[in-house]
Amino acid sequence: MITYGKRTELNTIDVIRLFESSGIVRPFSQLSKIKEMILNSDLIYTAWNEDQLIGLARCVTDFSYCCYLSDLALHRDYQSRKVGATLIEHVEKELGDEV
């Protein structure tokens, strides 16, 4: 069963594993850079299968006018299962129609 939620804290190693398994190009070997990417994001929604991070939508936004979806990463085993679409729906619901 996949669970979704808004996160303020994430384990950096979990995020690196997800990025590596997703095929997205990010600086995997730079732990501090990935940590800062997480800490300085305005909005993050995640998808989990039990204790495994399988999806992440990471956004930079002003919560008023614009939102930049900077990362949409899905573990390769969960791609084409609408996990990414569901993460985007959560982001859109959080931001509302004005953003």
Q: CA 88, 5, 39: angle at the middle one, nearest 5?
A: 85
Query: Which CATH number belongs to the domain containing residue 63 in this structure?
Result: 3.40.630.30
pLDDT digits (tens, 9 = 90+) for 8-58: 789 999 999 999 999 999 998 999 999 999 999 999 999 999 999 999 999
Q: Give the rounded distance of the alpha carbon of 94 from its chain centre.
A: 14
Domain range spanning residue 78?
2-95
Mean pLDDT, residues 51-74: 96
Q: Are 10 and 53 in contact (CB under 8 A)?
A: yes
Per the confidence metrics, is the pTM higher than 0.85? yes
Report the domain count for the chain: 1
